[in-house]
Amino acid sequence: MRHTLPIAPQFYVTAPQPCPYLEGRMERKLFTALQGDGVEQLNNSLSQQGFRRSQNVLYRPSCSECSACLSARIDVSAFSPSRSQKRTLKRNAHLERRATSPWATEDQFALFRRYLDSRHADGGMADMDVFEYAAMIEETPVRSRVVEYAEEGSNQLTAVSLTDVLEDGLSMVYSFYAPDQPQDSLGTFMILDHISIAREAGLPYVYLGYWVPGSQKMGYKAKFSGLEIYHQSEWKKMTDPAQFEAAVHPLSTDPIAEQVANIQLPEQPIHRNR
């Protein structure tokens, strides 16, 4: 019998690309592969440190000019819906939720294309074909679900979320919805419903991805009570969005080597080879 430890994850940095949130800035990401033994523990640990999953990769913004992309999550116990959010729940009460295994379908892809063509026609995902979409949904080494929303008694999809189930919450990896129903606030509705799912499952958080101070695209996230922001290596309650404005300053980013050194890795399990 032999005891071995898995190799510690290696971290890399992407080449700079134009930032989609702040005009004139360049975006860079710190990432590591999500593979081998202990992927669930690694995904849990790094998600709690501001990382996000994309297929078999975990990444976190690591720009040289600012640190404006801040990971956001909702503390379920501290959340209370606003009047507007209560109206959103009421407007969408006719939708049925279906949680399935991470399997791509033609109906999902048709809705996905409608959403991209309407909302993100010039974005980085605009040219995704059905095979790339299937890879986004199905290439997951961790516990994931596809949460679909459809008209009651109908198979007509209205909204979809690819969601990871973490040890301390739900991580909404990617969501899309019918773009021709802006009055229904479907993006907000899916977040509200995931808060309900987390509460029912006894999970304390819903991870929303990134929030950017001053970004209109990201402003809706600050409207959820119980919001927490991962800033300067710790989760902080959102009391005033202005408290994070310093994150856009060019001197707000630590050197890459220091960032990697401060990442807390999970305890590596011992494997027994017979």
Q: How far apart, in Å, do the first and last CA atoms of the chain sit? A: 5
CA distance 190 to 177: 9
Residue 208 tokens, joined: 């929303």
CA 72 to the chain's CA centroid: 9
* pLDDT confidence tier of residue 59, bands split at 50, 70 and 90: very high
- Cβ neighbours for 105, distance < 8 A, ≥ 6 positions apart: none
Taking alpha carbons only, the member of 26, 49, 44 closest to residue 34 is 44
How far apart are alpha carbons 27 and 97 in whole angstroms?
Answer: 36
Stretch 26-51: mean pLDDT: 91
pTM of the model: 0.89
Q: Encoding tokens for residue 273?
A: 């080879």
- In angstroms, the CA 228 to CA 145 distance is 24
Q: Higher confidence at residue 118 or residue 2?
A: 118
Question: What phi and psi values does residue 190 have, to the nearest 5 degrees?
Answer: -60, -40
172 contact partners, CB below 8 Å, separation of at least 6: 161, 162, 163, 190, 191, 194, 206, 207, 208, 209
* Local confidence band at 273 (pLDDT 50, 70, 90 cut-offs): very low
Mean pLDDT across the chain, nearest whole number?
87
More confident residue, 122 or 198: 198
Residue 242 has pLDDT above 60, yes or no: yes
pLDDT at residue number 4: 43
DSSP run (H or E) holding 230: strand 227-231
> Is the distance from CB of 168 to CB of 179 less than 8 angstroms?
no
Q: What is the pLDDT of residue 1?
A: 41
pLDDT band at residue 268 under the 50/70/90 scheme: low
Q: Do 66 and 250 contact (CB within 8 A), yes or no?
A: yes
CB 136 within 8 A of CB 175: no
Pairing mode of beta strands 157-166, 169-177: antiparallel
Q: For residue range 71-124, what is the model confidence (pLDDT) as tens digits?
A: 999 999 999 999 999 999 999 999 999 999 999 999 999 999 999 988 765 666
d(CA 254, CA 230): 15
